[in-house]
Structure 1
Amino acid sequence: MLPSLYSGISGLRANQQKLNVVANNIANSSTTGFKTQSMNFEDMISQNLSDPSAPVNNGIGGVNGKQSGLGVKVGGISTDFTNGSMQSTNRNLDFALDGTGYFVVSPDGGTDDYYTRDGAFVLDKDGNLLTQEGNHVMGYASGATGTGQPTTALSIKQYYTSATNGVDTGTDAQKVSSFSVGKDGSITVKLGDGTSYEVGQIGLASFQNEGGLVKMGGNLYKTSPNSGDATYGTSGSGSFGDINQGMLEMSNVDLAQQFTDMIIAQRAFQANGKIISTDDEVLQDLVNLKR
């Protein structure tokens, strides 16, 4: 068989995968906090037709080796973690991170953590602060140092007793009239009598190598051996960005770039298909030599 036939097949496979990456980027162009992916190609091993030789003293000069490539493969799929643009929503449970960091969420309110840039949170009937899929938003209790792994499942109750800063559904309880989240992630509730106090602080995480994070779906990431362990803290401290209430981070997909990449991948796919059809004609001519 002709080696170019298999080179063409490898080109079809690689460019099909590139189209898959581009299609996923375009499909998620409106996904909150989505990060664009890009794909790189690598050439496959080459066949040595002849080895190189060094010059001979007072004799023939050096000769370069002859190599023939055997196709292409996917070199890697990387993620662009630059911030997306901020969009104002005026919803008090929407939060956008301006800078480095991830919200820490847990399915059971424990230490089995996931990480997300999607700050479109909701409350349930018990006042638990949750992601759209029901994962608890993790942070620090009021008065805590705000360092180390956040282990408090945050909540914003509807009734508090101002005397004890505790939750109470009795006659002494007052309904929350409003709440706010500061740049440092601290959650402050305001009661009907005008008193206010902090009920917790949103925790954040950062990583030595963001590219090593594993996508879990649902806008969630999980650590991997190559991402490194999470470093925890609060917004506005250290290298962490600020939390902006009433805003969401949009996808950082550049549609113009994606359409350009799609055209390039499509034409490359067509060209590799043409190689296969040409090889088919050559093989047909070989078969027809014996008549």
Structure 2
Amino acid sequence: MLRSMYSGVSGMKGFQTKLDVIGNNIANVNTTGFKSSRVMFKDILSQTSAGATAPTDERGGANAKQIGLGVSIGSIDTLHLAGSAMTTNNPTDLRIDGNGFFAVALTADAEGGNIFLTRAGDFHVDGAGNLVNSDGMFVLNTGGGAITVPQGSSFSIGSDGVVTMRDAEGEVTTDNQIARVVVPNPEGLEKAGGNLYRVGQNAMGPDAEELDLTAEGELNVAAGSIVAGQLEMSNVDLTDQFTEMITAQRGFQANSRIITTSDEVLQEVVNLKR
């Protein structure tokens, strides 16, 4: 069979994956804290029909003759670029102006394996006074526990994540600070659905045993400040996505034409017996 036919098949599969990623990006154009993805291609191992020869005093060198065998997916990258800010004036809507992530967990006394990261700061106060996300997961403080606002208290959240609470008697407490987590390699985070990220094996350094919720010193600067009353919107650029969609569509069509042409050539070979 012709190599070009299999190359065309690999190209169609690759561009189909690219269209899948683009479709997901466009579907999440209004998703809070969503980070777009992109597909990068790489060529498949080439077949060498003649090797290279080195030049000598009597004869010049010759380059190798290689025939490519198609394309495959090199990577699917998540682009952790900041999304635009949307002002809501809701005191529990939070946006991180920096590289940090909020930490949330299913239980108030979360441990490393139960902690998820998110850039979506649309938080709420539940019936028990806990600060939670839209799915009821607890927003964690720097000590790894839940943030609780006692009933009857007014509160505000500062740029450093400190929750200032004032009770009916006017007493002020600042015991809670919202955790901001810095990840060395954000592209190593794995999307877990619900605007959440799971810490993958390549997200942290080899010596990191668990997430650092304190973000002290230099990490505190890298984590960024918290802006109350704002949300970070999706970083999807529709102009780029539709341009990439056109490119992927034409690439898919061109590869299908390769298969059609290869089929016509094979048909001519079969007809030689007439």
- SS at structure 1 position matched to 2:140: strand
Q: Is the 8 A contact 1:50 1:67 kept in 2?
A: yes
The correspondence of residues 251-262 of structure 1 with structure 2, limited to 5 A, is 251-262=234-245
The correspondence of residues 1-291 of structure 1 with structure 2, limited to 5 A, is 1-57=1-57, 59-109=58-108, 110-111=110-111, 112-140=114-142, 150-158=143-151, 175-176=152-153, 178-228=154-204, 229=208, 230-234=211-215, 237-291=220-274
Q: Is the 8 A contact 2:102 2:181 kept in 1?
A: yes
Q: Distance in 2 between matches of 1:131 and 1:208?
A: 24
More helix by share: 2
Please state how far the C-alpha of 1:285 moved relative to its aligned partner.
1.1
Number of aligned positions between the proteins: 264
Q: Is the 8 A contact 1:94 1:119 kept in 2?
A: yes
Q: Distance in 2 between matches of 1:128 and 1:232?
A: 18
Q: Is the 8 A contact 2:182 2:215 kept in 1?
A: no
TM-score, L = length of structure 2: 0.92
Please state how far the C-alpha of 1:255 moved relative to its aligned partner.
0.7
Please state how far the C-alpha of 1:234 moved relative to its aligned partner.
5.0
Max Rg structure: 1
Q: Distance in 1 between matches of 2:95 and 2:200?
A: 25
Please state how far the C-alpha of 1:60 moved relative to its aligned partner.
2.3
Q: Is the 8 A contact 1:185 1:234 kept in 2?
A: no
Q: Is the 8 A contact 1:184 1:234 kept in 2?
A: no
Q: Is the 8 A contact 1:233 1:240 kept in 2?
A: no
- SS at structure 2 position matched to 1:197: strand
Please state how far the C-alpha of 1:49 moved relative to its aligned partner.
1.1
Q: Distance in 1 between matches of 2:161 and 2:84?
A: 20
Q: Distance in 1 between matches of 2:125 and 2:213?
A: 24
Q: Identical aligned pairs, as a percentage?
A: 45
- The residue that corresponds to 1:169 in the other structure is none
Please state how far the C-alpha of 1:210 moved relative to its aligned partner.
0.9
Q: Distance in 2 between matches of 1:95 and 1:238?
A: 17
- SS at structure 2 position matched to 1:53: coil
Please state how far the C-alpha of 1:67 moved relative to its aligned partner.
0.5
TM-score, L = length of structure 1: 0.87
Please state how far the C-alpha of 1:204 moved relative to its aligned partner.
1.2
Q: Which has the higher contact order (CA 8 A, sep 6+)?
A: 2
- CA offsets 1:253-280 (integer angstroms, 9 cap, x no match): 1110011000000000000000001111
- SS at structure 1 position matched to 2:166: strand
- SS at structure 1 position matched to 2:254: helix
- SS at structure 2 position matched to 1:152: coil
Please state how far the C-alpha of 1:81 moved relative to its aligned partner.
0.9
Q: Distance in 2 between matches of 1:11 and 1:39?
A: 13
Please state how far the C-alpha of 1:287 moved relative to its aligned partner.
1.2
- CA offsets 1:214-266 (integer angstroms, 9 cap, x no match): 11111111112211143332599332211111110011111100110000000
Q: Is the 8 A contact 2:94 2:122 kept in 1?
A: yes
Q: Distance in 2 between matches of 1:65 and 1:198?
A: 70
Please state how far the C-alpha of 1:199 moved relative to its aligned partner.
4.5
More strand by share: 1
- SS at structure 2 position matched to 1:20: helix
Read off the aligned partner of 2:214 and give its amino acid letter: G
| RMSD after superposition | 1.5
Q: Distance in 1 between matches of 2:220 and 2:63?
A: 58
Q: Distance in 2 between matches of 1:210 and 1:222?
A: 10
**Structure 2 alignment gaps of length 5 or more:** none
